[in-house]
Amino acid sequence: MSHYDYSRKALLFSSDRRVEMQLRKSLSFISIELEKNIPNLSSLNTIKTVAKSLKGTGFMRAELFNFIQTTGFPYLVIMDFRLDLGLDTQNDPGNLKLLKTFLISYIIFSMGRGFDKLHLNLLLIYNQDDTASAEELSEKPERLLSLLHTKNDDVNALISRMKNDNTLFKKIFSIRFVARQGIENSLDETIKTFNSSINARNNLTNERVKKSLGAVQKGEKNAADVYYLCGQNCYQNGAVCLDVPTRYQIASPGSLYVEGYWVSTTTREVADRIIKSVAAALKAKGIQKGEDLVIHLQEKCIIDGTTATALTGLIIQHLQKLYNGVSVKVSRFNEPILKNSQGFSMIKEYLVYED
């Protein structure tokens, strides 16, 4: 599993040429360069042309993902709070499309494996007309989440959790504001202060990731936990869960989440936990006639080439007869693992992929 790290590159999206000139000087003090070789992440003219052609900015998420894979996380992203991309008001009310694209992209990335160090250090440049909003959002930047909505239920659920969990928001985002007026006098100090907080947080994150990787390298692969939402209850590994995790309090009944390792060494134990959870719900008469079951192998589930075969056997032998339909919702990170496994031909009819 790859664990991406920070690059020494910053991304700038601004219509103000003065900002670029000043920013190059400010970034040089901390040995960071502006990215200039990828048009879709550096040329505002290119971004506007493509955005108008596609009527959106989804292409930038793919470009950003490629950047992370090849270069690492952007050290810093600087953009105009409002940036006119030439889209109509229906596609970009308030000229906030680019900001929303980056926020949603990082939320989606945070759901994937290998993103332990993921964090968006975002500096927003605001005009005088937005002073009141900027001051309010500086105090509570999580309020920017009210701008976001996607077509993916899981992403929307995570956004809702972040709105109510400031710690979770801060884990992924550090957002600061700087006024365009007088920026030539304030940018140096703003960048230095932001850099100090980035370094402090990175040191803590590096220690946490090192401990996590050390545990995996030592072979500490505990069997995945199973959370099954059925009726009014949440079943964890076969027993009613009295302290339901926040992330599942908003989940739909009929959802079964697998968290942790479902690999060759834990196959039997994870399968037993699923069977016991379903049996407990059945005993409590929580499973209704005609009900569907959705098994989630998403960001917190680590699988290998044996999972597909084990899951197919579980569905055919135990689950299919109890439910109207069974589907398996797979993250885009687990998707290639299943597709390259020997059991893919048997499991593929049950799979549903994330958007």
- Identify the helix (H) or strand (E) that includes residue 353: strand 351-353
The confidence band for 113, taking pLDDT boundaries of 50, 70 and 90, is low
Domains of the chain: residue spans and CATH: 9-217 (3.40.50.2300), 225-353 (3.30.750)
Average pLDDT over residues 74-90: 95
- When pLDDT is averaged across residues 284-302 and rounded to a whole number, the result is 87
- What is the token pair recorded at 148? 């976001």
CB 16 within 8 Å of CB 180: yes
Q: What is the pLDDT of residue 297?
A: 93
For residue range 152-177, what is the model confidence (pLDDT) as tens digits? 887 888 898 888 888 889 889 999 99
Residue 236: what pLDDT?
94
Whether 247 contacts 286, CB under 8 Å: no
pLDDT score of 8 more than 60 = yes
Per the structure block, which two tokens stand in for 294?
Answer: 């959705």
- The rounded mean pLDDT for the chain is 88
pLDDT (tens digit per residue) in 218-276: 455 688 899 999 988 899 999 998 888 777 776 788 999 999 899 888 999 999 999 99
